[in-house]
Amino acid sequence: MKEKELPLEKSLYRLFEITPVPIALSFPDGKLEYVNPALKRMLGYEGDEIYSNEVTITHLDDIHVNAGIRKKLTQNPFVPMQIEKRYQHKLGHTVFVQLNIVAQADNDNLIKRYISQLIDLTTIKKSDAAEILLNHLVNKSNDAIYVVEPEYGQILNCNQLAHQRLGYNKDELLKLSVSDLNSKFDIKAKWNEHSKQIKLAGNIVIESTHTRKDGTKLPIEASISFIEFNQTGYLLAIVRDISRRKQKELEALELANLDPLTKLPNRRILENKLDILFKKAKEKNTLIAFFFIDLDHFKLINDSHGHSVGDEILVGTANRLKHCIRGSDIVTRMGGDEFLVVISGVKEHSSIKVMADKLQEEFTSPFKVQAHLIAVKASIGVSVYSNNNGEAHTLIQLADEAMYEAKKELGTSIYYI
């Protein structure tokens, strides 16, 4: 700074010293005349070291920009310029700057100096880059992402996948609340409890279902976090489509608990259901009937027509038996060509005979398999649980024995024991 300066210039220099905005004054040849403390801080310099001839504050790749700026200001000295350029920090890294520069002329309209104001764009560019990256990642995410208002469950924002997966456009989805997607939260008290639980835990993971626009259900897994932004609470939900996983679980369950050919429940499911039926029968003093069914001369069918035809007859038998029973009853394949039907809640023995006849009637019409009509008969053995007269295993054995008695007695297809 010069020792002798006009009062106005002194006042300006004092103002430059205290302003947080980086300011530089430079001579027409580009050499620095004055740099205020804010600019020194921005570029990492202290004291007067920035004035050294060894120091170049403009990024080396942008030196040519300075010549262009001076040329334009020489041609139009009273027209300020605004341009983005790069500066070099003392430590070597690049600082992106918006340069606002104007020329100061003397009484002869010759350029006396350039006055520059610098705005650090590094933080802004990083923020913009972060927002671009965030938006890209959010919209390209394999998971649906929701921002939800905690008190009422209103959906405030979502990524592209969230609304597309549910069949909405974004504007439509942002008019909905969580209860529109999950009827479990139709009751406000349930939503309040759910929201409170998330806030206390910070994060929870749940499995649930969402309802699409067309009414179909989508199984989902949601990781839900409570976050605060600008002193306001929000719920952030990362929601994953688990349809494939659920399908695989279902297939695994079927493989473990269903007969692979007929898709009838296996013995494990049978035992679990029988426990329930026996408890109810004891409570209500009702009967349980066991019908053990064996297809007659099934080996001959296999030998004559092949095992693929035999398999189709077994599947057809399963379907006919299922057609006879109620949802609360049981039909299972015991192995080979043997089936078991269990009906519960029976009050009269006469009802058991009606059911036996109904089962037998299913074998009066032939099975149509691969363009063949094949007559199939069945032998049925019946045992009945009444007044604690036995447990399930024993009653199944008795029904099995009764079935063999039916096979022995010519013309008899049903035998009661």
Which pair of structure tokens corresponds to residue 188? 């406000």
* Ramachandran angles phi, psi of 146, nearest 5°: -125, 145
Quote the pLDDT of residue 130.
63
Which pair of structure tokens corresponds to residue 239? 């929601």
In a domain, 200, yes or no: yes
Work out whether strand 378-385 and strand 414-416 pair parallel, antiparallel, or are unpaired.
parallel
Quote the pLDDT of residue 391.
85
Residue linked to tokens 């069945």? 378
DSSP secondary structure code for residue 58 in this structure:
B
User: Length of the chain in residues, anyone?
Assistant: 417
On whether both 215 and 149 belong to a single domain, the answer is: yes
Q: Which H helix or E strand runs over 269?
A: helix 267-284
Q: Which of 125, 152, 180 corresponds to the end of one domain? A: 125
On whether both 274 and 381 belong to a single domain, the answer is: yes
The CATH number of the domain holding residue 263 is 3.30.70.270
Instruction: Count CA within 13 A, CB hemisphere, residue 36.
Output: 19
Beta-sheet strands, E only, within 149-305: 155-158, 203-211, 217-229, 232-241, 287-295
Q: Which of 65, 98, 125 corresponds to the end of one domain? A: 125
Give tens-digit pLDDT for 364-382. Answer: 999 998 888 999 999 999 9
Q: Which H helix or E strand runs over 359?
A: helix 349-361
DSSP secondary structure code for residue 214 in this structure:
T
**DSSP H helices in 113-266:** 122-139, 160-166, 170-173, 178-181, 188-201, 243-257
Give tens-digit pLDDT for 94-134. Answer: 899 999 999 988 877 788 889 999 998 877 777 666 666 66
On whether both 410 and 270 belong to a single domain, the answer is: yes
Q: Which H helix or E strand runs over 352?
A: helix 349-361
On whether both 412 and 350 belong to a single domain, the answer is: yes
Give tens-digit pLDDT for 175-223. Answer: 999 999 999 998 888 999 999 999 999 999 999 999 999 999 999 999 9
- Domain tally for the chain? 3
